[in-house]
């Protein structure tokens, strides 16, 4: 059910500013300029093991001018998030 909530929240690219806001707040930590606007966000297909085994809610790719942002949404915290985040970014590329 949670993956459907994420799908509705980002349907028709109406809430792309949420992803931009998250990325901009992260960039502020390193005193970097804001990212360009996100033009399109879409959810990648999740398998049953993703949802049940890893507790995934959504795996999203957001695209803009010269930028791609990969976002993974989970119900609970998990170990090895840095490795998984890197793999998600590589998949987006």
| DSSP per-residue letters across 12-73 | GGTTHHHHHHHHHHHHHHTT-PPPPPEEEEEEPP--HHHHHHS-EEEEEEEEETTEEEEEEE
Tell which wins on pLDDT, 49 or 27.
Answer: 27
Q: What are 32-78's pLDDT values in tens digits?
A: 999 888 888 887 776 776 666 666 667 777 888 888 877 777 766 66
pLDDT at 29: 92
pLDDT score recorded for residue 50 = 66
- Residue 33: the pLDDT is 92
- 21-30 burial string, b = 16+ CB within 10 Å, else e? eebeeeeeee
Q: What is the pLDDT of residue 12?
A: 86
Distance CA 63, CA 56 (A): 21
Q: Check whether 3 has a pLDDT greater than 90.
A: no
Domain count, the chain: 1
Q: How far apart are the first and last CA of the chain?
A: 28
For 93, which DSSP code? -
Instruction: Check residue 8 and give its pLDDT.
Output: 81
For residue 87, pLDDT beyond 80: no
Q: Please give the residue range of the domain that contains residue 70.
A: 2-92
């Amino acid at each position: 059910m949670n993956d459907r909530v994420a799908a509705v929240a980002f349907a028709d690219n109406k809430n792309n500013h949420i992803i931009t806001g998250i990325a901009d707040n992260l960039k502020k930590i390193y005193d970097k300029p804001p990212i360009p606007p996100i033009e399109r966000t879409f959810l990648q297909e999740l398998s049953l093991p993703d949802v049940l085994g890893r507790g995934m809610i959504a795996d999203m790719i957001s695209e803009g001018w010269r930028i791609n942002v990969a976002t993974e949404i989970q119900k609970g915290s998990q170990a090895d998030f840095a490795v998984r985040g890197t793999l998600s970014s590589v998949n987006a590329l």
